[in-house]
Amino acid sequence: MTPVMWRYGRPALVLLLAGLAVGVPLWLVAVTSAKPQAESIEPNLDLPDRWQPGANYEDAVSQGEMLRGFVNSLLVVVPSVLLVLLLGAGAAWVFARRRSRLVSAAYALCISGLLLPPAVITIVMELRQLGLANTRPGMIAVYTGMYLSTSIFFMTGFIRAIPMELEEAARMDGASQARIFARIVLPLVRPVIATATIMVMLYAWSDVFYAFFVLGGGDRATLPLNLYQVASAQLYLNNWHLVFAYVVVMSLPMVAVFLVGQRKIVSGITSGAVK
Amino acid sequence: MADTVVRTRRQVSVEGPPKGAGRLPRAAVHHPWWFALPAITVFVGFFLVPNLLNFYYPFTNWSSYHADIAFTGLDNFRTIADDGSLLRAIRTTLLYALLAALFQNGFGLVLALLLEADTRFNRFFRAVFFLPVLISALATGYVFQALLDQDGAVNSLLGTDVPWLGSTTWTLVVVTLIHGWKWMGLAMLIYLAGLKGIPGDLLEAARMDGAGPWRTFWSVRRPMLAPAVTFNVTTALIGSMNTFDIVQATTGGGPAASTEVFNIYMFRIFGQGLYAQASAMSLVLFLVVVAVAIPLVVGLRRREQLL
């Protein structure tokens, strides 16, 4: 491969790949979500003959219970993310700073969730016995348990790289443990927090599998559960236009979060992984 | 002079007492256990305990048809082994994980090499290729169902009539390609970081010695990418054994159960009220993941050190 070919061929190849691999699917979503039902029975890439995005999104809201789903999603995802970060940071601080057999064992135990699959069936059993089945606190506890390993793993590696002297200085000044944690450790782990937030949010926001087992349908259903119900009805109703209006609304918050925190997220993901 | 004296004295006071005796109390005071306890409690309570329970309930008759739960030994395992679903789930899931990891890493590495230089053009397109990561897996599945349906967009565009999602042999490959598509952006980011970590003078030296781009990639960059490969391959393999959404949204496990991975099976059987049988499958998934993960992590770590 000559340098000249690389110089002009590479951007052309990138454009072609982006158009085919990302452009086509997104285009399909965008145009179908603006089509009337009759045009969307057999999905294709044509522009709509009649534009009716407003009506479709309205239908998705009224028939698909979108607003309720949105609130339900927020009510489980936000507390889960906060707990994962806060509890994870506390544990990571201890694991990063203390050295003993017991600490290593506890650390190994706590990051085992990186590899092991959650036992979803017996989670249901346990939640029923605790009276937490089909409740939001149950869902929050399950998500927190599932993603704590990730946050502890990333944060422990990160805190180990922070010099002890900063904490020592505060300790000399007579700060309490809780104060040192809140005023020194938490602000210092902010870069990892951005990454952990987006990763946990990504998984929890789009999760349908565990939500199905723990929350079920009903009036606590999250956005993905609602999308699943709308799309399952699709078999009989042929409402691709509604399915895709739903897909757009569900994806926009994540895209917005990514665009806001892009730089931090990217550097956080990469620094944690290759260490 | 005074300054030196103070400094020596402090050093003495820190290192003075014998190691074991002095260290532990100080660590215990400065980083007390109770900061870690909430995390450990939630993790043990809602992750480890269910996994432990998962070693008991598969051996019972727990279902929606019995009022009480009784010990039944290996009955559930006999049922899933006899109707062929056990071996099929193991085979399908392993094949799925292997292909998904292959595609995800292949696409990610190619994208990283194409978008390596830090220009505005490349930064924009990195974000474009990261978009599929942000779209939920369920939504991704529906998008590709609309594209690949027999009367879907791809067939109407190409003027063909291929049943992309209707082949008992090839549909599994198509679904893993979709999985690779969804996660290629994440693999790309990690490979980009790996590439960035390679010292510039190493590449310079290779060029001075007359190595072309291929030779440089194979002999210099590929070995230096080992940590990124370890991370990407492990997370891709383990993550895709836990797959559900993409398969459910594109094929629902069909045609003829040819894409029925563990989680799809559990979802279906749990829906029929056969909880213990679903739990048995969940235990098998656990054991399969452990059996794959341990040699994988050990092997990749060792390879990293050798290179």
Percent of chain B exceeding pLDDT 70 equals 90
Query: Structural domain tally of chain A?
Result: 2
Q: Which of A32, A81, A94 to mutate to test the interface with B (most CBs of B within 10 A)?
A: A94
Residues A89 and A125 in one domain: yes
The DSSP letter of residue B60 is B
Residues A93 and A18 in one domain: no
Task: Identify whether residues A23 and A140 lie together within a single domain.
Answer: no
**pLDDT at position A273, please?**
57
Give me the pLDDT at residue A237, please. 60
Q: Of the candidates B239, B261, B114, which has an alpha carbon nearest to the alpha carbon of residue B183?
A: B239
**Banded pLDDT at B17 (limits 50, 70, 90):** very low
Please give the Cα distance from B99 to B96 (Å, whole number): 5
Q: How far apart are CA A270 and CA B82, in angstroms?
A: 46
Q: What is the predicted pLDDT for the residue at A59? A: 75
Q: What confidence category does residue A1 fall into, taking pLDDT thresholds of 50, 70 and 90?
A: low
Compute the C-alpha angle A234/B141/A211, nearest 5°.
80
Interface contact B50-A243, CB threshold 8 A: no
Mention every residue, 6+ apart, whose C-beta is less than 8 A from residue B68.
none
Taken in order A145, A149, A150, A152, the sign of the CA dihedral is positive
Tokens describing residue B216 = 């440089």
The pLDDT of A36-64, averaged and rounded, is 77
Answer whether A251 sits within 8 Å of B27, measured CB to CB: no
Chain B residues with beta carbon closer than 8 angstroms to that of A243: 142, 146
- Asked if A139 and A188 sit in the same domain, the reply is yes
Same domain, A115 and A205: yes
Q: What average pLDDT does this structure show over B140-149?
A: 90
- Collapsed DSSP state (helix, strand, coil) of residue B136: coil
ipTM of the prediction: 0.89
Give yes or no for residue B18 having a pLDDT over 90. Answer: no
**Do A44 and A64 reside in the same domain of the chain?**
no
Top residue of B90, B125, B142, B179 to mutate, by most chain A CBs within 10 Å, is B142
Any bridge partners for residue B71, and if so which? B60
Residue that wins the pLDDT comparison between B23 and B216: B216
pTM of the predicted model as reported, rounded to 2 decimal places: 0.87
d(CA A272, CA B82): 45
A47 is in which domain, residue-wise? 3-52
Task: Identify whether residues A18 and A35 lie together within a single domain.
Answer: yes
| Same domain (yes/no): A218, A257 | yes
Chain A hits for B46, Cβ within 8 Å: 123, 126, 141-142, 144-146
The domain that contains B126 carries what CATH number? 1.10.3720.10
Q: Which domain holds residue B257?
A: 84-306
Q: Which of A26, A119, A243 sits opposite B54 (nearest CB)?
A: A119
A80 and A20 co-located in one domain? no
Locate the chain A residue with the closest alpha carbon to B237.
A115
For A221, left (φ over 0), alpha (ψ -120 to 50), or beta? beta
* Percent of the residues in chain A that have a pLDDT greater than 90, as a whole number: 32
Which residue among B36, B147, B231 places its CB closest to the CB of A106? B36
Query: For the segment B90-143, what is each residue's pLDDT rounded down to a tens digit?
Result: 999 999 999 999 999 999 999 999 998 888 899 899 999 999 999 999 999 999
Q: Are residues A19 and A123 in the same domain?
A: no
Q: How far is A115 from chain B (nearest CA, A)?
A: 6
A133 with A14, same domain?
A: no
